[in-house]
Amino acid sequence: MASILVTGCAGFIGSHLAERLLHDGHRVVGLDNFDPFYDRAHKLANVAACLAHPRFSFHEADLRHGLDALVDALPADPIDVVVHLAAKAGVGPSVREPIAYLENNVIGTTHLLEWMRQRQIGKLFFASSSSVYGNTKEQPFREEMNLVAACISPYAASKLAGEQLTYTYHHLYGLDVLNARFFTVYGPRQRPDLAIHKFVRLMRAGEAIPVFGDGTTARDYTFVLDTVDGIARGVDYLLTHTGVYDTLNLGNNRPVALLELIHAIGEAVEQEPRLAFQPMQAGDVDVTYADIQKAQQLLGYAPQTTLAEGLRQFVQWLDQDLMRHS
């Protein structure tokens, strides 16, 4: 049994990961700042099952507030691996609030790395993003691509900066690191600002779906439990290997065009979607497409969930969630 710190544990991916790590027999220390990006009550519901588990402890703190806040919030018990999921997410909001994204995703990450160095915690799984690839023409996206001029949003820039920070700490202080670039994760507990969540609610209300561009933009949609399986495998890899520094794509290796996604959602909710075409949004990329060979070889990562099945599970969860809050 290992002791795993999960930052952002009350969020969409973090809460699923905490449940998986507990199921795998680990002790989980959860950290979250309950950023008001969406309702605190939803995040508390996310971690309700974990809070009742004897091997889970929860601590509230904001990484932006520095080392003292982390020292005060977290127990002095040994931590074997840190999974750093906490971040301000989303391309569009980052275009409007770039400073907030850099404060959370770069300064906050630096505070965490310094806390790890002082505590002599030597293993980190860092959540990056497919956004770092920008509008790279070569597809699928490979981890070795030169991304110096790729980022086209503050969110993407903050995530690439995070990867560069983890390399600095690996080089200077011997930190073992896996960086994982997530590709459009969806499923139960998805944040309400994300496309699939919004589209289902709009269809249920009989309203038109906004289509930014001509509908051909595509995303490599990855079901949350497939992403979580990749993270859990990454944790196991870090626990059993030393001298590690690597960057992996955790995607689904199949881009889905926006119009295809909308029609698949229509089938999941058994409604015919109405469309409202609008101009492309600043910072949005045309396509995300993951080459997942490295994650397959290193971790045995193999996403299993079809889009239709993932959407079915999401719609089922959303209907239950709406009933609970009605």
- For the annotated catalytic residues, the residue numbers are 155
In 3D space, the residue among 295, 195, 284 whose CA is nearest the CA of residue 251 turns out to be 295
CA–CA distance, 303 with 290 (Å, rounded to integer): 12
Instruction: List the structure tokens of 255.
Output: 């881009």
Bridge partners for 237 per DSSP: none
CA–CA distance, 251 with 220 (Å, rounded to integer): 6
Which residue, chain included where needed, has tokens 């991916």? 13
* C-alpha distances in Å from residue 132, one per residue of 153, 154, 176, 198: 9, 10, 21, 24
Estimate to the nearest angstrom the gap between the alpha carbon of 175 and the chain centroid. Answer: 22
218-219 and 256-257 beta bridge pairing: antiparallel
Contacts of 308 (CB under 8 A, 6+ apart): 264, 267, 268
Instruction: List the structure tokens of 266.
Output: 């229509």
CA–CA distance, 30 with 147 (Å, rounded to integer): 32
Any idea what DSSP says for residue 107?
A: I
